[in-house]
C-alpha cells in the first residue's frame, strides 16, 4: 500500500511515449513508493531523479491540466528545483508544505493565477537561491521571514496584489542580486537598509504606492 501522504499525481509532458507511469522508491531504506503519472499534457515538462531514485527536479510549464499545487509536493524531501510557471489553469494557494523542502534551491511559480498570502513557511528554505512568484494574484504582506534566506540571489514578486510596507529585513540578504517588487500595492517609504545590498544589480519598485 502506498502511503497517502507520499502519493503525488503530476502532469508532465512526454511527447515521445505518451502516457506512462513511473514507480520509484522514495528512500533506499524504505519500502514505501511514490507514483508519478506522466500523461502528455504540457509543452515543457520534465522529472529528474538522482542516482538513488529520489525525485530532485519537477518542471511543468504551459500545462492546461494542472489546476492547483498539490500539498503532497512537500513530501519530496530531496527536491532541489521546482518549476511550475506559466500554467494558465493553475489557481489556489501556495501550499505551506513547500516550506518543508529544505534542499530546494529554485522555486518558480510565476505567471499563474495563484492567490492568497505568501506562506511564512517559505522562510525556512535555507538553501533557496531563486524565488519567482511574480504575475499572480498573491495578497497580504511580504513575509519578513524571507530575510532568513541568506543564500537568495533573486526575489521576484512583481505584478501581484501585495500590500503593506517593504520589510526592512530584506536589506539583510547579502547575496541578493535581483529584487523586483514592482506592480503591487506596497506603501510607505523605501527602507534605507536596501541601500546596503552590495550585491544588488537590479532593483524595481515601480508602480506601487510608495512615498517619501
pLDDT at 100: 96
pLDDT at 9: 42
Alpha-carbon separation of residue 160 from 1, 29, 93, 117, 141 (angstroms): 41, 43, 13, 10, 11
Percent of the chain with pLDDT over 70: 78
pLDDT band for 128, please (50, 70, 90 cuts).
very high
pLDDT at 47: 74
What gap in Å lies between CA 11 and CA 38, rounded to an integer? Answer: 5
pLDDT at 49: 78
CB hemisphere CA count around 152 (13 angstroms)? 27
pLDDT at 137: 98
Res 17 pLDDT > 70? no
Q: For residue range 156-188, list pLDDT tens digits in order.
A: 999 999 999 999 999 999 999 999 999 999 999
Cell of 77: 524531501
Percent of the chain with pLDDT over 90: 62
Query: Stretch 118-135: mean pLDDT, rounded?
Result: 98
Picking from 89, 27, 86, 79, the residue whose alpha carbon sits closest to that of residue 62 is 86
Q: For residue range 131-156, list pLDDT tens digits in order.
A: 999 999 999 999 999 999 999 999 99
Give how far the C-alpha of residue 184 lies from the chain's centroid of Cα atoms, to the nearest Å. Answer: 19
What gap in Å lies between CA 160 and CA 129, rounded to an integer? Answer: 21
pLDDT at 63: 77
Q: For residue range 30-76, list pLDDT tens digits in order.
A: 333 333 443 333 444 567 778 887 888 888 888 777 788 888 889 88
Cβ contact 70:94 at 8 Å: no
What gap in Å lies between CA 155 and CA 174, rounded to an integer? Answer: 13
What is the DSSP secondary-structure string of 69-104? --GGGGG-TT--EEE--S-TT--SPPPGGGGG-TT-
Query: Stretch 178-205: mean pLDDT, rounded?
Result: 97
Amino acid at each position: 500500500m502506498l502511503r497517502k501522504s507520499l502519493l503525488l499525481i503530476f502532469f508532465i509532458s512526454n511527447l515521445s511515449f505518451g502516457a506512462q507511469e513511473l514507480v520509484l522508491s522514495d528512500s533506499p531504506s524504505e519500502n514505501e513508493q511514490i507514483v508519478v503519472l506522466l500523461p502528455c499534457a504540457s509543452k515543457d515538462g520534465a522529472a529528474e531523479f538522482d542516482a538513488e531514485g529520489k525525485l530532485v527536479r519537477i518542471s511543468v510549464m504551459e500545462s492546461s491540466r494542472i489546476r492547483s499545487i498539490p500539498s503532497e509536493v512537500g513530501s519530496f524531501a530531496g527536491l532541489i528545483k521546482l518549476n511550475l510557471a506559466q500554467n494558465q489553469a493553475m489557481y489556489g494557494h501556495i501550499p505551506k508544505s513547500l516550506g518543508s523542502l529544505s534542499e530546494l534551491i529554485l522555486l518558480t511559480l510565476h505567471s499563474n493565477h495563484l492567490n492568497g498570502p505568501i506562506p511564512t513557511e517559505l522562510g525556512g528554505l535555507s538553501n533557496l537561491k531563486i524565488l519567482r512568484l511574480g504575475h499572480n494574484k498573491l495578497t497580504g504582506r511580504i513575509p519578513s521571514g524571507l530575510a532568513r534566506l541568506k543564500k537568495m540571489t533573486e526575489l521576484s514578486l512583481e505584478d501581484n496584489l501585495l500590500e503593506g510596507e517593504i520589510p526592512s529585513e530584506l536589506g539583510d540578504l547579502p547575496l541578493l542580486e535581483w529584487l523586483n517588487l514592482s506592480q503591487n500595492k506596497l506603501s510607505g517609504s523605501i527602507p534605507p537598509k536596501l541601500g546596503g545590498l552590495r550585491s544588488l544589480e537590479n532593483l524595481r519598485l515601480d508602480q506601487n504606492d510608495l512615498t517619501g
